[in-house]
Amino acid sequence: MKNINLRFILLLLPLWVLQACDDDATEQFMTSETMTLVEFISANPDQYSEFGKLMDISGLYGMLNATGTFTGFLPDNEAVAEFLEGKDINSLEKEYVRLVVATHFLTGEYPTDIMKPGIFEDSTFAGNLATVDFRDGGVNNLLIDKSATITERDIVCSNGVAHTIDKVLTPITKSVSKKIEESEGYSIFYNAMVLTGWTEKLNMFYNDEGRRLRFTALVESDEFYESQGIGSVEELATLVGSADDGDYTSPDNALNRYIGYHFINEQYYSSEIRTGMYSTVNNQFMSINADHEFQINPVFNEFGEFESANGFVSSEKMNIQAKNGVIHEVVDFLKVMEPKPVTVVDKILDQPELEKYKSRNNQDRNFYTKDVARWTGEGGWTQAYWHSQGSCDGGNGFLVFSKFTGKFTYETVPLIKGTYEITLTGQTWSGTGAYLTTVDGEEGNIVDPRGGNSSLGKFTFEENGVHKITFEDFRPGRFIIGCLTYRPVDN
């Protein structure tokens, strides 16, 4: 009997060993790599139970359990306790909690080895942009949104990556105007904004057509003004020459022009600023040399050596986030200057709304003009894709409309007044069409890349600003565009 039992045990032993191995494998298999971000948070209550409570209130569990690639910045329990100090979690409004939680998740996957100083390319679930700063120690000392340090990094989950942080991230809800008002040390500049009426513009999030507005503010501090003997907005007005100009809200008023000159159209974090020309909200222009100290309106001698600038972006106070833009502190007076026309290369695929086409190389995708700020067209959409082979002047490739019929109107980048020749850089593939062109209603050339003509013609612009270029099919076919070049010419 004992022999039978022994033989029975020996027969079962391999099964027990296999079962034990399966148990170990199961235990090993249920690591963070096999869990969604939500499952990982739930499986680690010692670190994230308090953040989990906020997620319960937010109702974002379903979104984060979905298939996709996300990045989660997960505040530990101590961070959430600090955030909730003096608050009753059950009394917090759901929409506010939802905004807080949404601020901690990005729509793309960012392990620390691909992070770069500046902004993340993908937005948060709240629709804002997050920033990362590298302090001493590189990836071992990363600061998110200038407030939270990553204490544990690169936790791989099945639908993204997680990083533990030591602070709860604050939702970005305030406009550029409100942020300047509430930030310590900018009261003189803000009072000048109020006096000139620019606060209304910088409080806007959308224009009348529903397009998202973003700005870059370049602001002098009270400390700088005081170092120049300026202690009030009245003294600032005297300095810029508008103390006796009457209506400060008039576009012709010197103080009004001075303040408006401090706000660039579009949002540029320090990592996005490139050497070139930028337009302001009052249709003025400034040049920035991003290759050295972010010099504003630099002047060079005949040997190309730097001589002077009328402003520098402070390396210590930049990338102050707002809901509709970003703020950089400047050193020295940023006085209005009128630069001469320069060659401008408008790289089509540098527009943020066109980023989505870059993930669909050579695959047709519906192109809706309503989705892209500088495009309008008849018919509403066509088929388009991104072609990565080749580019113009370091651009991101070509936007290819595979079925172009009808008419498109494209809004140029802002240009300094003057006379320009406008050329289109595309490709000469078989099936490429030809296009009738007009610029601000003035008839241009027939652009035919296959026939050797890429010039729209020469056009004179009497005022600084943007202009409308219309392309209409003359010979239907592909419409391939990489960039438009505006080159100054003598009248």
Residues 180 and 326 in one domain: yes
Q: What is the mean pLDDT of residues 391-401?
A: 65
Residues 458 and 369 in one domain: yes
Top pLDDT among 431 and 5 is at 431
- In this predicted model, what pLDDT tens digit does every residue of 236-245 receive, in sequence order? 999 888 766 6
- In this predicted model, what pLDDT tens digit does every residue of 131-158 receive, in sequence order? 898 877 666 789 999 899 999 999 999 9
Kindly tell me the burial class for residue 226, based on how many C-beta atoms sit within 10 Å of its own C-beta (0-12, 13-18, 19 or more): exposed
Residues 160 and 181 in one domain: no
Written as one letter, the residue type at 77 is N
**Percent residues over pLDDT 90 in the chain:** 44
Question: How high is the pLDDT of residue 84?
Answer: 93
Residues 236 and 287 in one domain: yes
Secondary structure (3-state) at 101: helix
Last residue of a domain, one of 331, 352, 384: 331
Top pLDDT among 48 and 286 is at 48
The Cα-based distances of 169 to 52, 130, 144, 147, 205 in angstroms read 15, 10, 8, 7, 22
* Residue 26 banded pLDDT, cuts 50, 70, 90: very low
Question: How high is the pLDDT of residue 352?
Answer: 63
**Percent residues over pLDDT 70 in the chain:** 82
Kindly tell me the burial class for residue 74, based on how many C-beta atoms sit within 10 Å of its own C-beta (0-12, 13-18, 19 or more): buried
* Residue 187 banded pLDDT, cuts 50, 70, 90: very high
Question: How high is the pLDDT of residue 225?
Answer: 96
Question: How many domains does the chain contain in total?
Answer: 3
Last residue of a domain, one of 287, 302, 331: 331
Measured CA to CA, the distance from residue 330 to residue 311 in angstroms comes to: 6
Measured CA to CA, the distance from residue 155 to residue 123 in angstroms comes to: 20
Is 5 part of a structural domain of the chain? no
* Residue 82 banded pLDDT, cuts 50, 70, 90: very high
Residues 380 and 443 in one domain: yes
Residue 413 backbone phi and psi in degrees, to 5: -70, 160
Is 437 part of a structural domain of the chain? yes
Is 209 part of a structural domain of the chain? yes
Question: How high is the pLDDT of residue 237?
Answer: 92
CATH number at residue 120: 2.30.180.10
Q: What is the DSSP string of 194-208?
A: HHHTHHHHHT-SB-T
Sort strands 365-368 and 325-331 into parallel, antiparallel or unpaired: unpaired
Question: How high is the pLDDT of residue 33?
Answer: 75
Measured CA to CA, the distance from residue 223 to residue 231 in angstroms comes to: 9
Sign of torsion, CA 408 215 423 478?
negative
Top pLDDT among 65 and 257 is at 257
Residues 271 and 375 in one domain: no
Is 6 part of a structural domain of the chain? no
Residues 272 and 161 in one domain: no
Is 285 part of a structural domain of the chain? yes
**Core vs surface per residue 230-258: b (16+ CB within 10 A) or e:** beebeebbebbebeeeeebeeeebbbbbb
Measured CA to CA, the distance from residue 272 to residue 291 in angstroms comes to: 12
Above 70 in pLDDT, residue 105? yes
* Phi-psi domain of 466 (left: phi exceeds 0; alpha: psi -120 through 50; beta: other): beta
Residues 137 and 199 in one domain: no
Is 320 part of a structural domain of the chain? yes
In this structure, are residues 432 and 415 in contact, taking their beta carbons and an 8 Å threshold? no
- In this predicted model, what pLDDT tens digit does every residue of 296-331 receive, in sequence order? 888 777 766 777 777 788 777 888 989 999 999 998
Question: What is the residue range of 68's domain?
Answer: 32-165
Above 90 in pLDDT, residue 394? no
Is 423 part of a structural domain of the chain? yes
Residues 154 and 257 in one domain: no
Q: What is the DSSP string of 394-437?
A: T---EEEEEEE-SEEEEEPPPB-SEEEEEEEE----TTB-EEEE
Is 10 part of a structural domain of the chain? no
Last residue of a domain, one of 165, 194, 218: 165
Above 50 in pLDDT, residue 12? no
Above 80 in pLDDT, residue 172? yes
Above 60 in pLDDT, residue 360? no
Q: What is the DSSP string of 345-401?
A: EEEGGGSGGGGGGGGSBT--EEEEGGGSTTEEESSSEEEEEEE-S--STT---EEEE
Q: How far from each other are the two terminal CA atoms of the chain, in whole angstroms?
A: 113
Residues 381 and 437 in one domain: yes
Residues 325 and 183 in one domain: yes
Q: What is the DSSP string of 226-279?
A: HHTT--SHHHHHHHHT-TTSS-TTSTTSHHHHHHHTTEEES---GGG--SEEEE
Above 50 in pLDDT, residue 15? no
Q: What is the mean pLDDT of residues 202-212?
A: 87
Strand ordering across the sheet containing 398-404: 365-368, 381-387, 398-404, 477-481
Average pLDDT, the chain: 83
Q: What is the pTM of this model?
A: 0.69
Residues 322 and 181 in one domain: yes
Question: How high is the pLDDT of residue 113?
Answer: 92
Nearest to 48 by CA among 10, 75, 67, 25: 75
Measured CA to CA, the distance from residue 425 to residue 391 in angstroms comes to: 9
